[in-house]
C-alpha cells in the first residue's frame, strides 16, 4: 500500500508531533549509551513493529481507539496482538514487502521507524534484534578501557568485560 499525497501529509504532521515529544523525552532520558554499528537492511525490525504505550492509551477506550485508528489508517499498521504484560501493541506493517524485505513508502515512514533502534539505548542492558547491525556503546568507554587494560586481566577476562560493559566498537 504505497502512500498517496493525503497520507503523506498526515504522516508529516504525525512526524512533527513525534519529534517534538521525542525531543522532550530525550531531554530527561538516560544517555549512558550511544548507537554504534549500522543498518544491514535485513528488514527484521519491519516484520512486526511494536509500540509500548502509557496507561492512558492502554486503559481508556477512546484514546485506544484513536491511537489504533491512526496507526491503521495513516501508518498502515494492522493490529496483530495487544500484549498486556508490557502494554505493547504488536502490528503487521502493510508497507513491508516480505519478498524484497523493504518498505514501499520509505520516504514517508513514521517517526518510530526513523528513530529505530535508539529506544533500546534507554534499557539498562540494551538488546537488539538478533542479526541487527546496530549495537549499544557505552559513553566514555575509552577511559574505562584504559583502566581495564592496566589491570592484570587475561585476554579472555578483558574481552568478556568489554562485551558485558558495551565497550566494543
Ligand atoms: S533489524 Fe537492524 S539491521 Fe535489520 S533493518 Fe532493522 S535496523 Fe537495520
Ligand atoms: S513503515 Fe516501512 S520502515 Fe516502518 S515498519 Fe513499515 S515497512 Fe518498516
For the Cβ of 43 lying below 6 angstroms from any atom of ligand 1, the answer is: yes
Q: Name the closest-CA residue to atom 7, ligand 1.
A: 39
pLDDT in tens, 103-148: 999 999 999 999 999 999 999 999 999 999 999 999 999 999 999 9
- Rounded CA gap, 80 and 91, in Å? 5
pLDDT in tens, 69-100: 999 999 999 999 999 999 999 999 999 999 99
Domain boundaries along the sequence of the chain:
5-31+41-118
Query: SS3 for 120?
Result: helix
Q: pTM, whole model, 2 decimals? A: 0.91
Amino acid at each position: 500500500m504505497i502512500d498517496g499525497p493525503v497520507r503523506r501529509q498526515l504522516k508529516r504532521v504525525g512526524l512533527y508531533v513525534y519529534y517534538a515529544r521525542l525531543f522532550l523525552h530525550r531531554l530527561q532520558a538516560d544517555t549512558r549509551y550511544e548507537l554504534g554499528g549500522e543498518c544491514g537492511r535485513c528488514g527484521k525490525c519491519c516484520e512486526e513493529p511494536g509500540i509500548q504505550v502509557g496507561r492512558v492509551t492502554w486503559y481508556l477506550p477512546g484514546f485506544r481507539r484513536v491511537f489504533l485508528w491512526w496507526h491503521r489508517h495513516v501508518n498502515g499498521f494492522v493490529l496483530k496482538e495487544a500484549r498486556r504484560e508490557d502494554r505493547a501493541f504488536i502490528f503487521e506493517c502493510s508497507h513491508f514487502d516480505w519478498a524484497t524485505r523493504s518498505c514501499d513508502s520509505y520516504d514517508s515512514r513514521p517517526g518510530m521507524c526513523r528513530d529505530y533502534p535508539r529506544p533500546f539505548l534507554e534499557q539498562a542492558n540494551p538488546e537488539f534484534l538478533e542479526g541487527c547491525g546496530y549495537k549499544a556503546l557505552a559513553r566514555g568507554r575509552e577511559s574505562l578501557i584504559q583502566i581495564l587494560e592496566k589491570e592484570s586481566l587475561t585476554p579472555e577476562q578483558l574481552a568478556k568485560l568489554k562485551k558485558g560493559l558495551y565497550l566494543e566498537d
